[in-house]
Amino acid sequence: MMIRFYLDGQLVEVDVKPTDTLLKVLVDKLGLTSVHYGCGEGSCGACMVLVDDKLRYSCLTFAASVNDKKVTTVAGLLSDHELSPLQKKFVENNAAQCGYCTPGMVLVAKALLDKNPSPSDEEIFDALAGNLCRCTGYVPIVKAVKSAARR
């Protein structure tokens, strides 16, 4: 079946099977580098995207369900090739080592701060609990989110 959706601001049309996940379509069919397969069961958050401003594990989302919707990956946070303030904070705090978990971490931080511009430490830990990191370590990531929050 053909579906169409806005991917990081661009309209795309793609032929999908009803059982294809959004992750599969984004990586295998559209060749995106900004979403990653990590677990396939919503445990690690490496495949995170925003669908109409709601966080989604793209491995747990059928591609057909985003028809006519807006899908944003971390690449979509750039404007005019300029990093968003949140992305800049991740850079300043060295909050990425291998980088595989980073897109998911940035997107969850964005979703959190959009709703709650000055979260407590507890709220940051709780929001990020669905995203795993194995090499950067959570300390610089949490520091980046805190520094991006309104104090």
Partner 1 sequence: MKNMITLILVFFGLVTALKEINESFLMPESVNKALQLKKLYRDSALVVSGGTASVQLVTKMLISPAAIISLENLPLNYVKKKGNMIEIGATTTAAEILESDGVPNCLLEAAKGIHGLALKQNATIGGNIFTPAPGGDMATALLSLDAQLIMSSSRGRRIVPLTKFYKGPLTYNIRSDELLIAIRIGKPPKHSMFMKQSIYKYGGQTLASVSVALDSVDKVKRVGVAVGGLTPHPYRASRVEKMLLGQKISEELIETTAQNVAEEASDTGLVSREYLRHLAGVLYKRILTRLTSSR
Partner 2 sequence: MSMSNYFVVGKSLQNSSIVNHVTGATQYIDSITFPGMLWIKAVRSPVPRGKIKKIDYSKAEKIPGVVKIITAKHVPNNYHVNLAGLGVGPPDEPVLPEDEVNYKGEAICLVVAKDEETAAKAANLVEVDIEELPPVLDMEEALKPGAPAIKKWGSNVFMFGGGMDGATPPSSPKRPYFLVKRGNVEQAFANAYEVVEGSYLIPPIEHAPLEPHICVAKPEPSGKLTIYTPTQAPYFVRDNVATILNIPASNIRVVSPHVGGAFGAKVDPEFEMQVAVAAMVVGRPVKWRWTREEEFTISTTRPAVKIELKDALSREGRILGRKAKLLHDAGAYARTSPYGVIKSTVNLSGPYNIENLRYEGYCVFTNRQPSSAMRGYGVFEVSYAVELHMERAARKLGIDSWEFRFINAYRNNQVTATGRPIDDAYLIEVMKEAAALAGVKLPPHLLQLSS
Rounded CA separation 17/131 (Å): 28
Stretch that binds partner 2, among 35-43, 50-58, 111-119, 120-128 (CB under 8 A): 35-43
Rounded CA separation 118/115 (Å): 9
Stretch that binds partner 1, among 26-34, 47-55, 78-86, 94-102 (CB under 8 A): 47-55
Q: Which of 12, 14, 29, 62 binds partner 1 (CB under 8 A)?
A: 62
- Of 41 and 122, which CB lies nearer to partner 2 in the complex structure? 41
Residue 108 found at the interface with partner 2 (CB under 8 A): no
Q: From the CB of 80, what's the least distance to partner 1, in Å?
A: 28
Residue 55 found at the interface with partner 2 (CB under 8 A): no
Stretch that binds partner 2, among 63-71, 100-108, 111-119, 122-130 (CB under 8 A): 100-108
Stretch (H or E) spanning 55:
strand 54-57
Look at residues 82, 83, 68, 72 and name the one whose alpha carbon lies nearest to residue 7.
72
Stretch (H or E) spanning 4:
strand 2-7
Per DSSP, 50 falls in state E
